[in-house]
Amino acid sequence: MHDTTISLIELGAVFFGLGLLGRLAWRIGISPIPLYLIGGLTFGHGGLVPLGGIDAFTELASEIGVVLLLLLLGLEYSANELVTGLRRSWMAGVVDIVLNAAPGAIAGLLLGWGPVGALAMAGVTYISSSGIIAKVLGDLGRLGNRETPVVLAVLVFEDLAMAVYLPILTALLAGMTFLGGLTAVGISLAAITVVLVIALKFGRYVSAVVDSPDPEVFLLKVLGAALLVAGVASQLQVSAAVGAFLLGIAISGSTAENATRMLEPLRDLFAAVFFVVFGLNTDPSAIPPVLGIAVALAVITTLTKVATGWWAARRQGIAPLGRARAGAALVARGEFSIVIAGLTVASGAVDGQLAALATAYVLLMAVLGPVAARVVEPLAKAVRRRRPAAA
């Protein structure tokens, strides 16, 4: 059978299977993300029925999924709201680093991977998955909740921290000089500053450039702009997710509303592919040897992320239920953690077991995060109802 024919059959089966999994998820009342991940794990490398004909498409589609997730999240807020949120939540960002990077760093040192391995694992356990969290908040209808700007501010702080962290890690892995590492960091910070200034000062012009009365032209311009900005940001050692998010911030008013409406179906399609690809690239046989360590890290960093969200929301005067939702929303880890592990293992500077541990950990957290976000509200309400009775 021709390679193109096989690819079409496999891709069609994947999309149809995603539809079935999504329907099942909503029937049982959970986000479809965990089922997408498990489905990918089943049909990936080392799974029950490996799929090998769609790698090129799914790899690019998964990147587009992350870009669209963050673009639409950015469309929900203005540049002024972003700056205000960062000013209010920078202390929460610092607390986030301390609480959530430490467990990974300690694990790396105890496993004998040295300072570089410890730095890599610190990044794996620190960074939440903006893609998963954006999808979950949208699925649960919480984008307009009072605690969501707090969650958003923490996520933006994390993504901006990655713009500093990744060049440093890459420099250490490559044996680069200290001056070379500082140069890479300087380029990243300069790129972020320029994009943010454009969003704050010239956002209306950005909206005018992408706007169009013709739906087809408008869709092509918005999607093209998002991919261009994400690609340039990635080339400048800034997260593609940060670039897409800041573009969303720069687009405002009716242009932002129209863009959200038109891009939502594309976002859902490509985001589903992203989560499946994550599962496809995970070899199930590599998970059992490191599962115990991964579970321990998952338990510890779930508690530290919840504590981070609770503390950050409390500083903004949000009620306990909102604090609980904020903490649970931050639990999921995903795309950045895998990127960090991939860079580290590819360099050969750290034991290859790091990849297996990171994969097992992220799989646990990617499943646990959406579930925690879903159950935290009814659980918190049940606890509040029982307290008066107990008294």
What does the block give as tokens for 96?
Answer: 């986030």
Residue 171 has pLDDT above 90, yes or no: no
d(CA 303, CA 267): 30
At 28, is the secondary structure helix, strand, or coil?
A: helix
- Among 21-25, 47-51, 55-59, 77-81, the minimum mean pLDDT is found in 47-51
156 versus 102: the higher-pLDDT residue is 102
Which amino acid, residue 326? A
Which amino acid, residue 119? L
Domain ranges of the chain: 16-378
Residue 201 has pLDDT above 70, yes or no: yes
pLDDT digits (tens, 9 = 90+) for 119-128: 999 999 999 9
What pLDDT is stored for residue 325 in this prediction? 93
pLDDT digits (tens, 9 = 90+) for 272-314: 888 787 777 777 777 888 899 999 999 999 999 999 999 999 9
What pLDDT is stored for residue 193 in this prediction? 74
d(CA 142, CA 145): 5
Give 194-199 contacts, CB < 8 A, sequence gap 24+: 195/229, 195/233, 195/243, 195/246, 195/247, 196/79, 196/246, 198/250, 199/79, 199/82, 199/246, 199/247, 199/249, 199/250
What pLDDT is stored for residue 30 in this prediction? 67
Residue position matching structure tokens 């690809």: 277
Q: Options 3.40.50.2300, 1.20.1530.20, 3.40.50.2000, 1.10.4080.10; which CATH number does 16-378 get?
A: 1.20.1530.20
Residue 379 has pLDDT above 80, yes or no: no
pLDDT digits (tens, 9 = 90+) for 88-139: 778 999 999 999 999 999 999 999 888 889 999 999 999 998 878 887 888 8
Instruction: Share the mean pLDDT of the chain.
Output: 81
Confidence class for position 69, pLDDT limits 50, 70, 90: confident
Phi-psi region of 128 (alpha: psi -120 to 50; beta: other; left: phi over 0): beta
Residue 390 has pLDDT above 50, yes or no: no
d(CA 305, CA 54): 35
